[in-house]
């Protein structure tokens, strides 16, 4: 009997306080580097998780430090953002989101990002799985898992299940 087992990967980031930006450290492996030695070394960067971004991107100085080659598809993309409409090329990285959680050959556009983070993780990655933000006890946390679970997370359903039953005198 053949049993299909889905291999899932995930992590949780707990900040210990309320935050208004979701950031994590990510190790990237520059698979498109012209320097073969750089391809096998993890390079730690700070990433901003942005559900308003449709694509993932890195800053130009990361591309230069890692000697990344741009994709040879000749398909520069016009990207609309806070700074207006810009043209950007892309390259590929392997992203290690946490221990044993890799996304291989992830396309990232090279943009001058208007934030302090070195990378934006956009919906092209977030949309691969399940993503939830919580603010329990005024401490922000978020969790991410790939692939998505078959059952949708429903906070409204949880409210109904946790609600106290009306008393007989009401």
Decide if 88 is inside a domain.
Answer: yes
**Domains held by the chain: number:** 1
Decide if 54 is inside a domain.
Answer: yes
Non-local (6+) Cβ contacts of 62 within 8 A are 28, 43, 45, 68, 118, 119
Decide if 6 is inside a domain.
Answer: no
Q: What is the pLDDT of residue 154?
A: 84
Decide if 9 is inside a domain.
Answer: no
CB 61 within 8 A of CB 89: no
What is the domain-level CATH number for residue 94? 2.40.70.10
| Residues of the chain falling short of pLDDT 70 | 1-4, 72-87, 163, 165-170
72-108 pLDDT, tens digit per residue, is: 655 556 665 656 656 677 888 999 999 889 999 998 9
Put simply, whether the predicted model's pTM sits higher than 0.85 gets the answer no
33-44 pLDDT, tens digit per residue, is: 888 888 888 999
Closest CA to 67 of 97, 96, 93: 93
Q: What is the pLDDT of residue 73?
A: 54
Decide if 80 is inside a domain.
Answer: yes
26: β partners: 45
Pair of tokens at residue 124: 């092209």
28: β partners: 43, 95
Decide if 68 is inside a domain.
Answer: yes
For the chain, strand residue ranges (E) read: 9-14, 23-29, 43-49, 57-58, 77-81, 84-88, 90-98, 101-110, 119-121, 130-134, 141-146
Q: What is the pLDDT of residue 74?
A: 56
Decide if 102 is inside a domain.
Answer: yes
Pair of tokens at residue 52: 């308003």
Domain that holds residue 34: 21-128
Decide if 170 is inside a domain.
Answer: no
Q: What is the pLDDT of residue 167?
A: 64
Q: What is the pLDDT of residue 99?
A: 87
What is the percent of the chain where pLDDT is above 90?
A: 51
Computed from CA positions of residues 120, 8, 132, 137, in that sequence, does the dihedral angle turn out positive or negative? negative
């Amino acid at each position: 009997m053949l049993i299909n087992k889905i291999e899932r990967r995930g992590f949780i980031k707990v900040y210990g306080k309320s935050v208004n930006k979701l950031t994590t450290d990510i190790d990237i492996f520059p698979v498109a580097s012209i320097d073969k030695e750089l391809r096998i070394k993890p390079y730690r960067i700070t990433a901003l998780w942005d559900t308003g971004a449709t694509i993932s991107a890195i800053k130009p100085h990361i591309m230069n430090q890692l000697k990344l080659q741009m994709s040879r598809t000749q398909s520069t993309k016009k990207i609309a953002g806070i700074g207006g409409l810009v043209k950007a090329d892309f390259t590929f990285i392997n992203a290690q989101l946490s221990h044993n959680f890799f996304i291989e050959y992830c396309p990232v556009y090279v943009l001058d990002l208007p934030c302090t983070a070195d990378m934006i993780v956009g919906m092209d990655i977030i949309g691969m799985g399940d993503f939830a933000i919580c603010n329990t006890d005024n401490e922000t946390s978020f969790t991410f898992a790939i692939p998505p679970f078959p059952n949708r997370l429903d906070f409204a359903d949880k409210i109904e299940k946790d609600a106290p039953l009306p008393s007989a005198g009401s």
